[in-house]
Structure 1
Amino acid sequence: MSRYIHVLGALLALTAANVICVSKLQAQGPPTPSVSVAQPIAKRITIWDEYSGRFEAVQTVEVRPRVSGFVDKIHFRDGQIVNVGDPLFTIDPRPFEIAAESARAEIARARAQVALAMSEVERAAPLVKSGAVTERDFTQRSANLSVTEAQLQVTEANLKNAELNLEWTVVKAPISGRISDRKVDIGNLVIGGAQGTTLLTTIVSLDPIHFLFDTSESDYLRYMRQGLTGERKARDEPNPVLIRLADETDWTHKGTMDFLDNQFNPRSGTMRGRAILENKDQIFAPGVFARLRLFGGEADALLVPDSAVVSDQMSKIVFVVGDDGVVKAAPVKLGPIVEGLRVVTGGLNPSDKVVLDGLANPMVRPGAKVATQPGEIKTAAANAGK
């Protein structure tokens, strides 16, 4: 019995000790979370504005015949590269060869009539003074000579037209570039002329190539003011651009601006811009979408890791820790990614201690007290040289 009483006393003592420990922990509260903090990097950066756009050929030509006839030959493979002057289609030339021969015969006849009329004028000229030929008869012969000479000019013009139509039976590439597929096959009748002509194929140039995009009114005004102050090249000068394709992460393709429209679109409130790039390897194709970076000037900015920025409803915030160790939420205005860090254009001071990690901890929230540890913010270049 005494042994039982001894064990029961020990259990009661242990229970009392546990109660005391729990009471102390509850009085102390949860442990203070620890976070790493660092001041943002203050640096003068080059601002690049980004736009989405698409490539467009510098030259696009619809190949159509200038004369009507049946297609006799096709000289290209669908989708191949063609050079200016390469033959593409041959229209049956025989009717046009006959027309050219007929025009040559008309010229020979007209020349004979001119020679006859000229000889009559030459014979009549000395006879006018003697009265053997009247003045009226001489005038008539001179007029006949003028008429036959005019008829000769008409026949010569008809020959040029016939030879030109014969030349047009071979449809040649008007520009160099990549040709589309044929729209007609051998044996089909095609219509030439000014209206209702048959589309044979299309050709687009590839090198150089244009990139089209739209810029906002606010960006346009900023560019114009920077041009006036000399921060960037003027509107009519070739400002540099960088291009990145959909499957690329680096801005490796370089070009220059070569056109800015003369008015804003009243519906979208944007203005059309155009850059030009070399395309020697022909990786760019008309219609391909990509991203463009346009030089937007230089500015003093603060850089923080993109992971330190969190969303709060409709705004972006950064957690900062005051001298009292209390977390505060700082609404910020963000810019692009520069050197691997997010640009903060407003809402943050260079002396602020930005929370770098521990954001996933629910205890790290505005108004909470935290223990801070020194952290470090590094650019992509600094991390690469590590």
Structure 2
Amino acid sequence: MNPFLIIRCSFILGIITLAAACSPGAKEKHAMPAAIPVVVAIAEQKDIPIQIHTIGNVEAYSTVSVKARVEGELLRVYFKEGQEVKKGDLLFLIDSRPFKASLKQFEANLARDTAQMKKAEADVLRYNALLKSGVVSKQEYDQYHTNFEAFRATVKADEAAVVNARLQLGYCNIRSPIDGRIGRLEVNQGNIVKDIDTILVTINQTKPIYVTFSLPEQELSEVRRYMAQKNLKVEAIVPKDEMDSVAGELTFINNEVHESTGTILLKAIFVNEDESLWPKQFVNVVLTLTTQPGAVVIPSQAIQIGQEGNYVFVVRPDFTVEFRPVVLGNRFNQETIIAKGLQPGEKVVTDGQFQLVQGSKVEIKNILESLAQSSSGIHNQKVDTYE
């Protein structure tokens, strides 16, 4: 083929291609990129609780380590491990036979010495009459009077010994000092127990129950300020059971800050009738300080972080997006308060932000839902109140 002809054809083809590229239709297609699909949400106005979230530990309302007050053989156990008991319920029986024998002995001593005291008292009365008649001397009378006083002191000692013996006998029946739940049995039936030496069982009172938690010392002044105004609500949430929280009330702020951690200990009380909280259990704690009325909130996933701080993409009426810096407030569940930068009813992008820049054209994937929310949320807005 002629080389000149090849060059000429290539030149003509290049002109045709250039003309096609510069045509109005091609220019219009290049200037009209496809809309980016996004998901949006509408900024709403609600009453939002101001809360502090932390981790807490469940603590028994009271704990009693049951011990024997007398020594002897453990004859019987009246409960099962883990059982719920009431104050005054019989728990253990210690062999009472030695204590019954001691009581009888002291009662016999008391009876003997009482009889002797009565005889000495009669002698004193008789010698007192003889002394007045001058039959006996004052020395003889004093001797009988002294004997009477000695017997009276002996009787008082005997009475005290009898009372103590009865107490010792009563200690053979060991009863629950509180309402609570029995723990593991430490000494089995048949063993010899020693007084104030061995823990027999531990009882934890679980109704009501405490949850203790710590907060940074920087939060102390705010917590005390709101606590002075009203009782503060505390919620305890068992991990993996977030939908079922337990409500309680803040009752205690420790009187000092832990110097090594810079935190302060707080305690809340819970009725716990269903025993959903268990001693030594870890729980998520939510302390509600107050409620912020009329706060503008959006889903937290709409918030982006850039070099200049937090921002969101706001969808304009012409379906282009605006880069909007925002100032954040507190978070509640999956929503965040916008302290500055948004108005109620504005649409923000919650999914698809990574493809957007200022002025990007968007296609709202949940447009029907968004329009429905817009019509009911702006003109007839529902305000949720969290108490």
TM-score of the pair, normalised by structure 1:
0.80
Quick check: 2:67–2:200 contact (8 Å CA) kept in 1?
A: yes
Within-5 A mapping of 1:137-286:
137-193=140-196, 197-226=197-226, 232-233=229-230, 238-250=231-243, 252-286=245-279
For structure 2, the 5+ residue unaligned runs are none
Letter in structure 2 aligned against 1:278: V
Q: Distance in 2 between matches of 1:258 and 1:49?
A: 16
Give the direction of change, closer, same or farther, for the CA distance of 1:323–1:76 in structure 2 (3 Å limit). closer
Q: Distance in 1 between matches of 2:75 and 2:65?
A: 20
- SS at the partner of 2:107? helix
Deviation at 1:68, TM superposition (A): 1.1
Aligned to 2:300: 306
Deviates more, 1:116-125 or 1:304-313: 304-313
Letter in structure 1 aligned against 2:216: S
From 290, 293, 303, the counterpart of 1:297: 290
Aligned to 1:77: 80
Deviation at 1:108, TM superposition (A): 1.0
Aligned to 1:92: 95
From 58, 63, 67, the counterpart of 2:66: 63
Q: Distance in 2 between matches of 1:164 and 1:67?
A: 10
Aligned to 2:331: 336
Deviates more, 1:13-22 or 1:109-118: 13-22
Aligned to 1:31: 33
Give the direction of change, closer, same or farther, for the CA distance of 1:56–1:102 in structure 2 (3 Å limit). same
Quick check: 1:242–1:251 contact (8 Å CA) kept in 2?
A: no
- Say how many residue pairs are matched: 362
Deviates more, 1:303-312 or 1:66-75: 303-312
From 300, 304, 318, the counterpart of 2:312: 318
Q: Distance in 1 between matches of 2:18 and 2:93?
A: 103
Give the direction of change, closer, same or farther, for the CA distance of 1:37–1:171 in structure 2 (3 Å limit). closer
Deviation at 1:318, TM superposition (A): 3.2
Structure (1/2) with the larger strand percentage = 2
Deviation at 1:148, TM superposition (A): 0.8
Write out per-residue CA displacement over residues 65-121 of structure 1, whole angstroms, 9 at most, x where no aligned residue.
001112111111111111211221211111111111111111011101101211110
Deviation at 1:317, TM superposition (A): 4.4
Deviation at 1:350, TM superposition (A): 2.9
Q: Distance in 1 between matches of 2:264 and 2:233?
A: 18
- SS at the partner of 1:59? strand
Identity of aligned residues (%): 28
- SS at the partner of 1:205? strand
Within-5 A mapping of 1:337-376:
337=332, 340-345=334-339, 348-350=341-343, 354-361=348-355, 364-365=356-357, 368-372=358-362, 376=370
Letter in structure 2 aligned against 1:370: S
Q: Distance in 2 between matches of 1:252 and 1:316?
A: 32
Q: Distance in 2 between matches of 1:246 and 1:326?
A: 40
Q: Distance in 1 between matches of 2:236 and 2:29?
A: 61
For structure 1, the 5+ residue unaligned runs are none
Deviation at 1:59, TM superposition (A): 1.2
Quick check: 1:65–1:192 contact (8 Å CA) kept in 2?
A: yes
- SS at the partner of 1:263? strand
- SS at the partner of 1:145? helix
TM-score of the pair, normalised by structure 2:
0.80
Give the direction of change, closer, same or farther, for the CA distance of 1:225–1:341 in structure 2 (3 Å limit). same
- SS at the partner of 2:222? helix
Write out per-residue CA displacement over residues 223-277 of structure 1, whole angstroms, 9 at most, x where no aligned residue.
333456xxx41xxxx3222232212233642222222222222222222211111
Write out per-residue CA displacement over residues 170-201 of structure 1, whole angstroms, 9 at most, x where no aligned residue.
111111211012111122221104xxx11101
Deviation at 1:141, TM superposition (A): 1.5
Quick check: 1:32–1:370 contact (8 Å CA) kept in 2?
A: no
Q: Distance in 1 between matches of 2:289 and 2:47?
A: 13
Q: Distance in 2 between matches of 1:17 and 1:306?
A: 50
Q: Distance in 2 between matches of 1:122 and 1:311?
A: 105
Q: Distance in 2 between matches of 1:343 and 1:98?
A: 77
Quick check: 1:309–1:318 contact (8 Å CA) kept in 2?
A: yes
Q: Distance in 2 between matches of 1:39 and 1:172?
A: 63
